[in-house]
Chain A
Amino acid sequence: MNGTQFWSLAVSAIFVQNLVLIYFLWDGSFYKAIKKPKTGLLFGILVTAATTLSSVLCWLLNRFVLRQFSLEFLAPFAFVLVITLLETAAYAAIKAISPKYKDEILKILPASAFGCAVLGLVLINVQANTRGFFGTAFYGLCAGIGYLAAIFLVMSALERVRFSAPPPVFKGLPIALVTAGIISLGLMGFSGIVIPY
């Protein structure tokens, strides 16, 4: 793969196929993360690490085990198992290394690893099946960056919306969804962009 192909993958992962705003891969943890900037940043970084590593491992599993032995029907369980093992290893590593924000990281680690984004991205990669090993890893990294960007976009927008006093029936989830929809409308402008290589 050349530089332009990686650039094309980056634009695709961050904007055209954004995990949150195009694929809807958000959940309760995302909603809680966008309430505090520090938690949001930490959560986004953990999701980026999870998406990158799980993309790589699940690509290998799919290529050399599932497709080799015609076990594609076991894909959901196999990928969940890989993600679980990854999270367990990360938990042990963080406890051993003991970084600065160890307690905060350990609190949100399960939510970031076991969310829709990681499993969803792995399934998207398997469906696409055209990127190769390095392409998949890079796509996973960029998809995580896109997730982080979406957290801050939605968080900033919701902060402004809260001050504008929406009608009572819209407070909370409804206005969050409408806001995300309007931001997603902007990203839809990127659809159809093809970077020639």
Chain B
Amino acid sequence: MQRRRVLRLSALSLTAVAVAAVLYGFILSWQATRAFDQRGWDLPARIYAAPLELYPGRRMDAAALISELQRLGYSSSPDAARTGSFERRGTEVALRTRSFDDARGAHPSRRYVLRFDASGIRSIYDETGNSVVIAELDPLPIGSLYPSHGEDRIVLSPNEVPPLLIEGIKSVEDRRFDEHFGVDLRGIARAAWVNLRSGRIEQGGSTMTQQLVRSYFLNQEQTFWRKLREAFMAIALELRKSKDEIAVAYVNEVYLGQDGARAIHGFGLAAQHFFGRPLPELEIHELALLIGQVRGPSWYEPRRFPERARERRDRVLQLMHAADLISDDELQAALQQNIGVTRQSAGGYFAGFLDTVRRQLRDEYDAADLESAGLQIFTTLDPSVQAAAERAVGIELDTLQDGRPRLEAAVVVTTTHDAEIKALIGGRQPGFNRALDAHRPVGSLIKPAVYLAALQSGTVNLASPIADEPIQVQLQNGDIWTPGNFENEQHGEVTVARALVESLNMATVRLGLQIGPDAVADLLERLGLDRRPQPYPSLLLGATDLAPIEVAAVYNTLANDGFNQPLRAVRGVLASDGRLLQRTHISMRQAAAAEDVYALNTALVEVMRSGTGRSVQQKLRAPLTTAGKTGTSDDLRDSWFAGFSGEHLAVVWLGNDDNDPVGLTGATGAGRVWAGLMNALTTRTLVQPQPQGIELAWIDLDTGLITDAACPQAAHLAIRHSDLPLTARGCGSERTRIGSRLRRFLDGSR
């Protein structure tokens, strides 16, 4: 009786264990398959920068074009015979584009010949000898959209993976890949034997499938139970997926390197990271280098350890040759090559900009739509502008960081006429996107809104007098606020223009209170802010927190003669079958009268000429007319600069994440980065179209009198025609001021 009960209990517990094991097996199998499917090649959407548009008349020399082509991974080839190549012959450049799709349809590969002269591109001809008005190049891929884990990949479809790559990987990592069922028992036995004999772990014995599973579940600890789980999952995966699918998944997933904080997974991204070219264009020795990285991405890192990387590559080439994948000649030729890795990671990691794209898409689409197969997303990014911005931040912060180890930066650059975001930097370290999410007090950057509101009211013009004298403001809670000037100076009666040009706080508050903070808050909303700021008196000096992108929205309206458009990061989205899903349009509304914005901008030009921005303007190398404003918040915690040319607007912020003062003003901090950026761009000078009813006059900034260009404190400012006629006086002499004349006239006296 006892024995039967014991037997029954044993049978029951064994059954229970068996059932549990089987259930656990199903769970593991489900986990492995799910991880595989989520990363399937057909899931992510691909993201592209704006394509380079070449046209006769473009101010670009041959060297600059070659540079852009190289960024796209084009290489030099005799007569530009290969797709993705160019040839320079003196003042002529021949190039053959890669084929691509965009919102206008399929663009086949085309060959163009461009002729250059002293001012830029003179003419463009295609293969048939016809002259071409716009030659579009294939756009630079800048990332993939992976809704499930948000990581970066350049995911390849099966027909984009070179067969030689897969066979090469097998020959090095998993010779019996095609035969085994997920684990390679012979391989494990061999590895165990080798390790036993040498007394340490030398060989892994892991199949590609096991490696794939391992990479899905980050923990790299190789405990016995982990290995067992991995083995089981690998077997389960092999039951559910074909060898081809697993091989392609491996190509897209395997860890191959590190770029700062960004992990390089997959051969597509690795090709871009190490060689700056798409994987299908790599040559045998380059593929071999990448394959060699699998075994030790840090140990064999080619930029840090070029010797080791080369040795490893050569070993891979030998293995490939032994497996009859490459001929004797090919082997010898490949062994002769240098490793050929670019000096630094090309193709760029536009983390801040990609973040902006993802958010704009999330606002417009369901997540389900974005996860559908093979979307192509065409963005507004200009890689050369992004490179200029990153370089300017890098160079300036190298110096500015002395004594400021945690100094951070954010930059937004747009083309003003269409509000397209050309570049965006979220910070020095990826992670927190300060351009979008760091809301910081804007300080004096707010002043143009105050002065525009004043001009709009019709009660003042740029030459009107305003007192830059102490003022006490009673706040709602009963406290008294006493705003002061930078360095506590006061200037007595000045012109409205001068108060803006020199960013005088007391005058600004006086003016702002006359107009009313409500009017300023309303205007800010119309100029492009998503929400209306609180209309406290302190708003007049910028005691409101804005993110750099919000500042850019407001200033872009000013740069656009008062026409407001939402800033755009996406131009269009294409479904996998080439169907156009969405195209954004230039769409604007008039936020402020052109005359008032014109007048304001003449003052902002003066800010750069003789005001708080002059040290920034002086750093500009080309004779460029710009308009801008410096911004410094309380205790020098935030350094801002916003300024525009006739083509580009750039907003720069410097500060500490923990809000510690940085000891930099708008001009000495952000302004330097801005100047560095503008110097690196090809940009048009600012020429504002003059509206009807507006006159330009030389105004003495101190007295408000009309004078001429010879007067040292004169500025070329705009005054409404209706505020004239006036008596012209000499430079610096008193009596008749335009503003007070107008006031007396309005008061009815004569």
Do A and B assemble together?
no
**B residues with CB within 8 A of A:** none
**A residues with CB within 8 A of B:** none
